[in-house]
A and B are shown apart, each in its own frame.
Chain A
């Protein structure tokens, strides 16, 4: 056990990076993730962390710097929010395709237009196809924990993939929570040094990233696909190891909250789940058979585990804290993915999509009540009349 302190998600993440003995950090300021970088800068200046703290010229530059650093064999870290995450988009495929297990922390933020500092998961969700490990922390403790776990998962020789350690802007990045900060000894026992199959080393010179003809294209993508699919096993192993060493047990894929005997559940990822849990508690006290499922890892998406878990319920309200205009089913990304996962169950489990908490607004207790009310209606009538609701306008 380490030291228990109150800290924000930003500071918690910075502590994880310090404990991971990261070698190269590339910063660039954008709200709300900036606090991670300023805390890391302080740690470097105060001698708590020995790392090269590079002042990046922009988010595209940040990802490029850590790309080079990871290829040279260093453990590298960067982060961003909102449009910054978009600006770096060019780099996400090269980084995962070159199998460089660097870590990017995204404290999510609404995209322009116009400027809006508020939290929304759209920015990081736009990156979900790029072949990175990805998931949301819903508390500062979890923010610290996933940063450590993600390095361990990503650097595993069977995986070698980069990771997006996401957390809700402000709701997690800035609000204080109690965090048990592990000791260095514990982290050293958990996280071995970073090694890769290809590094820039004059003693073993290699050519990394040569141009290919189309005939090599499918095979290279398949290699990456196998790595992402193969990471599932590693994700489970690492979560078990983490529990052993640090004493905090997380389900690798989904957290089930009061789902025993539930008929309707909310399916949600990130910090708004904490609000949802409060509502579930209250409704349970009133005798309602409700529960909540919090998705912890969105890439790779836990198809099997989601299918198994949701098969127990009659109706699921999938909350998307992001936009995906024009998407199939007209709600959000998670609704479409959940429906794909439970497709085989036919009509047995009803799903309804709710787009909520956009722009940095809270998802209020009132909205959660309305969602559960709608789900109860769906169970009663046996019909989904409208599959998508944009809260707070449409319910």
Chain B
């Protein structure tokens, strides 16, 4: 069992995601990968579906993981992890290996989780495999140059949802809530939580809880992307904080079928405080921003937080 990390100063010093990778300066997903690897430790096998955390990290013919790592297609992170897990179960039971059962972690982007990868993810959780499936959400298909994914927010500019006279808001669709999709209907689910790279101790402890759960564990990690969202590279942690403090992102765990917040700002800021720093929202008109605020309020409501809609000040 992995123990709770009490503070930053008590966090493990060892790095299992070492320096040397081609991710953007200030890359949010890279930071959360480092924290996940740190929390999981050496007895870990990572599976990397195609995405930024595959291509950027393994360019070229190398990689920054001090543990075993294998590429999967963007479609099948959940399925490949199921095979790895079943293999170790069988080999250990049949005495074909003296390995200990390892942590098996899928590190999938929002596309590889909620879109093209959703079938494999759902099946893995239905079957009850002892894996941790992490969705690092940079809110787009980033590696291919920022295209919309089902978790791209309403109103976000991407190359597939550009803003223009015909589509003034850019992205018209509200995003999927993959965490809620996973929370209900998979009887074997053992642990589910959301996290943010701006709250590193909380994140690492949720990773450990997921790994300790001895069954399917799902962890959503909000991972701001300077390139895709158009903000300066040094603001990644700051933007992540604002996402939580405006209620766009909620930090919670699913405990006995109920959502329990693990962090709650004392007072929620209006979402304008979050989107004003991001170029991908710069085209939004007041009516679009209002819709986005309502979206945030609704998500908060779903985890038991009622907010009087903060009025929009642009």
A binds B: yes
Contact B83 A26 (CB under 8 A): yes
Contact between B62 and A205, CB atoms less than 8 A apart: no
What chain B residues lie within 8 Å of A213 (beta carbons)?
59-61
Q: Given A23-B94, A205-B65, verify A210-B58 contact (CB < 8 Å).
A: yes
The reply to whether the CB of A64 lies closer than 8 angstroms to some CB of chain B is yes
B69 touches A24 (CB 8 A): no
B86 touches A207 (CB 8 A): no
> Is A73 in contact with B79, judged by CB distance below 8 angstroms?
no
Q: Check if B45 sits within 8 Å of A210, measured CB to CB.
A: no
A–B Cβ pairs within 8 angstroms, 13 of them: A23-B90, A57-B122, A65-B82, A68-B85, A68-B86, A73-B91, A74-B91, A202-B67, A207-B62, A209-B70, A210-B61, A210-B71, A213-B60
A156 vs B65: C-alpha distance when bound (angstroms): 30
A68:B81 contact, CB within 8 angstroms:
yes
* The residue from B44, B91, B120 contacting A57, defined by CB atoms under 8 A apart: B120
A56 at the interface (CB under 8 A from B): yes
Contact assessment for A55 and B61 in the assembled complex, using a CB-CB cutoff below 8 Å: no
The CA-CA distance from A209 to B96 in the complex, in Å, is 25
Partner of A202, one of B42, B91, B123: B42
Do A65 and B91 contact each other (CB < 8 Å), given the known contacts A57-B122, A200-B68, A211-B55? no
By a CB distance below 8 angstroms, the chain A residues around B55 are: 211
Supposing A68-B84, A206-B68 touch, asked if A211 and B58 sit within 8 A by C-beta, the answer is yes
Complex CA–CA separation, A123 to B55 (angstroms)? 32
CA distance A94 to B54 in the complex (A): 15
User: Given the complex of chains A and B, what is the CA–CA distance between A26 and B129 in angstroms?
Assistant: 14
| A7 beta carbon closer than 8 Å to chain B | no
Chain A: residues with CB nearer than 8 A to chain B?
21, 23-24, 26, 50-52, 54-58, 60-61, 64-74, 76, 90-91, 94, 193, 200-203, 205-213, 216
Known contacts: A61-B123, A202-B42. The answer to whether A216 contacts B61 by CB under 8 A is yes
The list of the 3 closest CB pairs from A to B, nearest first, reads A68-B83, A209-B71, A57-B123
Q: At the interface, yes or no: B93 with Cβ under 8 Å from chain A?
A: yes
Given contacts A68-B87, A73-B91, are A207 and B63 in contact (CB under 8 A)? yes
Question: Contact: A200 with B84, CB < 8 Å?
Answer: yes
Q: Is the CB of A208 within 8 A of B70?
A: yes
Residues of B within 8 A of A54 (CB): 82-83, 86, 127
**Interface core residue of B59, B86, B120 (most chain A CB under 10 Å):** B86
Sorting the interface of chain B by its residue count into under 10, 10 to 19, 20 to 34 or 35 or more gives: 35 or more
CA gap between A207 and B71 in the complex, in Å: 8
B73 within 8 A of A: yes
How distant is the Cα of A64 from the Cα of B127 in the complex, in angstroms?
15
Which B residues touch A51, using CB under 8 A?
A: 90
* Contact (Cβ within 8 A) A202 B44: yes
Q: Which residues of A contact B120 (CB under 8 A)?
A: 57, 60-61, 64
Q: Is the CB of B68 within 8 A of A55?
A: no
- Mark each residue of chain B from 45 to 77: 1 if its CB lies under 8 Å from any CB of chain A, else 0: 101000000110011111101111111110110
Residues on B with C-beta less than 8 A from A208 are: 68-71
Q: Given A64-B79, A74-B86, A200-B70, are A50 and B93 also a contact pair (CB < 8 Å)?
A: yes
Q: Which residues of B contact A200 (CB under 8 A)?
A: 45, 68, 70, 84, 102
Residues of A within 8 A of B119 (CB): 57-58, 60-61
Contacts of B47 in A (CB 8 A): 68
Return the chain B residue nearest A23 by Cβ: B90
CA–CA, A58 and B45, complex, Å: 24
Question: How far is it, in angstroms, between the C-alpha of A52 and the C-alpha of B92 when the chains are bound?
Answer: 12
- Indicate if B80 sits at the interface (CB-CB under 8 A): yes
Q: Is the CB of A69 within 8 A of B73?
A: no
Closest to B93 in A: A50
On chain B, the residues within 8 Å of A212 by CB distance are 60-61
Q: In the complex, what residue of chain A is closest to B91 when comparing beta carbons?
A: A74
Partner pick for A24 among B43, B65, B87, CB 8 A cutoff: B87
Task: Report the bound CA distance from A207 to B45 in whole Å.
Answer: 10
**Residue B89 CB within 8 A of the other chain:** yes
- The reply to whether B65 and A207 contact each other, CB–CB distance below 8 Å, is yes
Asked if B8 CB lies within 8 Å of chain A CBs, one says no
- Which of chain A's residues have a CB closer than 8 A to the CB of B81? 68
Contact (Cβ within 8 A) B90 A52: yes
Query: Min CB distance, B40 to chain A, in Å?
Result: 11
Interface presence of B144 (CB below 8 A): no
Residues of A within 8 A of B79 (CB): 56-57, 60-61, 64-65, 68
CB distance from B188 to the nearest CB of A (A): 12
When each residue 94-133 of chain B gets 1 if its CB lies under 8 Å from chain A and 0 otherwise, what string results?
A: 1011010010000000000000000110110011000000
Bound together, the chains give a CA A244 to CA B241 distance in angstroms of 70
A206 to B70, CA, bound (A): 8
Q: Are B96 and A193 in contact (CB under 8 A)?
A: yes
CB distance from B39 to the nearest CB of A (A): 16
How many whole Å from B273's CB to the nearest CB in chain A? Answer: 37
B295: Cβ under 8 A from any A Cβ: no
Residue contact B91 to A211, C-beta cutoff 8 Å? no
- How far, in Å, is A74 (CB) from chain B's closest CB? 4
Which of B65, B80, B102 gathers most chain A CB within 10 Å? B80
Across the interface, name the chain B residue whose C-beta is closest to A78: B83
